[in-house]
């Protein structure tokens, strides 16, 4: 009963793009949920043990920002998962959001305020993630080729 109220009927039948794009968005969901849970749940938010950030000064602020970011990643990942599984007609929109988010993170990490001598693992994966998201966005916008199974030939009487 609760699921029916929270989740309207599936819109997957209205999606005409590549099924691989929906699968990629599902992987993006995992890529949001897992770090989100780590940032929110680890005692240091992953700032020290994963990112290698020196926490000897301003520890509370750094850990607080990591927890805040994790709190944003968790619902974002759940929304991505819902779209990938149940509301595929929104896949292009969500992939465009992935491109925007990862693109902005990458720009800042390599050329902006986050650019510096130290690059945590996410800085490297963000570049590849952005490029893949662009590819799958394009695939999600291209109509699928119809197979003979989509429109079976009528049989003669």
Over the chain, what is the mean pLDDT? 89
> pTM value?
0.82
- Given a contact cutoff of 8 angstroms between Cβ atoms, the answer to whether 74 and 36 are in contact is yes
pLDDT in tens, 99-147: 999 999 999 888 888 667 777 777 888 999 999 999 999 999 998 776 5
Q: For residue 13, is pLDDT > 60?
A: yes
Q: What is the pLDDT of residue 60?
A: 93
**Does the structure show a pLDDT above 60 at 149?**
no
Angle of helix 91-111 relative to helix 121-141, nearest 10 degrees?
150
């Amino acid at each position: 009963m609760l699921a029916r109220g929270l989740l309207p009927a599936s819109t997957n039948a209205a999606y005409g793009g590549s099924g691989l794009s929906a699968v990629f968005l599902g992987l993006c969901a995992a890529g949001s949920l897992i770090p989100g849970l780590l940032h929110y749940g680890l005692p240091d938010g992953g700032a020290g043990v994963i990112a290698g950030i020196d926490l000897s000064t301003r520890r509370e602020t750094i850990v607080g920002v990591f927890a805040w970011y994790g709190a944003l990643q968790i619902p974002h990942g759940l929304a991505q998962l819902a779209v990938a599984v149940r509301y595929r007609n929104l896949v292009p929109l969500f992939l465009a959001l992935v491109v925007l988010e990862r693109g902005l993170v990458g720009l800042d990490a390599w050329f902006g305020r986050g650019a510096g001598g130290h690059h945590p693992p996410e800085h490297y994966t963000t570049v590849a993630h952005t490029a893949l998201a662009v590819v799958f966005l394009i695939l999600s916008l291209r109509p699928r080729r119809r197979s003979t199974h989509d429109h079976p030939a009528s049989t003669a009487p």
